[in-house]
């Protein structure tokens, strides 16, 4: 079953615009929510992550917004640049002594930023 | 410091053939993972190894076997390849130890597998 649902599947944004990617999860035990960025032909790399004790985390032009009651979180890319064109994956995992770092990934969003 | 390396980069198999995908990391990480990436499906965990000597099934283990050869190396074997196993396979590693799971996973460059 898909425990993390991501939308949209693809996104086209003009340079300088805001890119927004949304994820929803089902399992309330999730307590770590990273976003990974993947360029064509490369493996994914961690972009930014959040834990549910905060509602927002910002790193440069990238911001995660987290809504625990709605079980949703989103990635905002401000002032989007052509170099941001990539596939973005949200993910979730559960802490605990029996957990070993397993991540559940969303389906991915392909972002194209037009010059 | 090469990070996570995978071989081969690309492979074509015929249905029923077997092959082993190799993965190695030089970051002294405890945990290693194998994922497959398919369009519209994201990354799905096949198997993982929390530490040297242990392996466990992930979300989609059927048709695969793994070996954690030592702390550095984690291989994925397809005993009898099927067209449904056409995918891009990623190996990853993390410093994670049981009880401290929220660590960054570092991914290799991937192996593209085509099964005819």
pLDDT of A71 higher than 70: yes
Question: Which residue in A33, A43, A32 sits closest to A86, CA to CA?
Answer: A43
Q: How far apart are CA A6 and CA A87, in angstroms?
A: 12
Q: How far is A77 from chain B (nearest CA, A)?
A: 20
DSSP state string for chain B: ---EEEE-SEEEE-TT--EEEEEEESS--SEEEEEEEETTTEEEEEEEESSTT--EE-S--TTEEEEE-SSSBEEEEESS--GGG-EEEEEEEE--BTTB-----EE---EEEEE-
Looking at chain B from residue 37 to 56, which residues have their Cβ under 8 Å from any Cβ of chain A? 40-45, 48, 50, 56
Q: CB–CB of A32 and B102 under 8 A?
A: yes
B-chain CB neighbours of A106 within 8 Å are 42
What distance, in Å, lies between the first and last C-alpha atoms of chain B?
36
- Residue B4 CB: number of other CB atoms within 10 A? 23
Q: What is the CA radius of gyration of chain A?
A: 14
Q: How far apart are CA B36 and CA A12, in angstroms?
A: 26
Q: How far apart are CA A72 and CA A67, in angstroms?
A: 5
Q: What is the bridge-based pairing of β-strands A104-105 and B4-7?
A: unpaired
Per-residue pLDDT averaged across B13-38, rounded?
Answer: 95
Per-residue pLDDT averaged across B39-60, rounded?
Answer: 90
Q: How far is B81 from chain A (nearest CA, A)?
A: 23
Q: Which of A51, A100, A110 best tests the B interface by mutation, with the highest count of B CBs <10 A?
A: A100
Percent of chain B with pLDDT over 90: 76
Q: Which residue has the higher pLDDT, B75 or B39?
A: B75
B109 touches chain A (CB under 8 A): yes
pLDDT of B99 higher than 50: no
Share the mean pLDDT of chain A: 92
Question: Which residue in B60, B65, B66, B74 sits closest to B29, CA to CA?
Answer: B74
Q: How far apart are CA A49 and CA B42, in angstroms?
A: 18
Per-residue pLDDT band at B2 (split at 50, 70, 90): confident
């Amino acid at each position: 079953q898909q425990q993390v649902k991501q939308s949209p599947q693809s996104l086209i944004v003009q340079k300088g615009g805001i890119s927004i990617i949304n994820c929803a999860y089902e399992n309330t035990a999730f307590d770590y929510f990273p976003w990974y960025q993947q360029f064509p032909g490369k493996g994914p790399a961690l972009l930014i992550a959040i834990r549910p004790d905060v509602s927002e985390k910002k790193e440069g032009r990238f911001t995660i917004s987290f809504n625990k009651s709605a079980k949703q979180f989103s990635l905002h890319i401000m002032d989007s640049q052509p170099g941001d064109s990539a596939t973005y994956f949200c993910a979730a995992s559960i802490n605990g002594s029996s957990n070993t770092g397993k991540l559940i990934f969303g389906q991915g969003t392909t972002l194209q930023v037009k010059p | 410091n090469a990070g996570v390396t995978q071989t081969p980069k690309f492979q074509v198999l015929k249905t029923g053939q077997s092959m082993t995908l190799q993965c190695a990391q030089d970051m002294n990480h405890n945990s290693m993972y194998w994922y497959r990436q398919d369009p519209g499906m994201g990354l799905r965990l096949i198997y993982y190894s929390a530490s040297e000597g242990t392996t466990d099934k992930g979300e989609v283990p059927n048709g695969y076997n793994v070996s954690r050869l030592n702390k550095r190396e984690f291989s994925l074997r397809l005993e009898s390849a099927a067209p449904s196993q056409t995918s891009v396979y990623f190996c990853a590693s993390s410093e994670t130890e049981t009880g401290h799971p929220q660590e960054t996973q570092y991914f290799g460059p991937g192996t593209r597998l085509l099964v005819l």
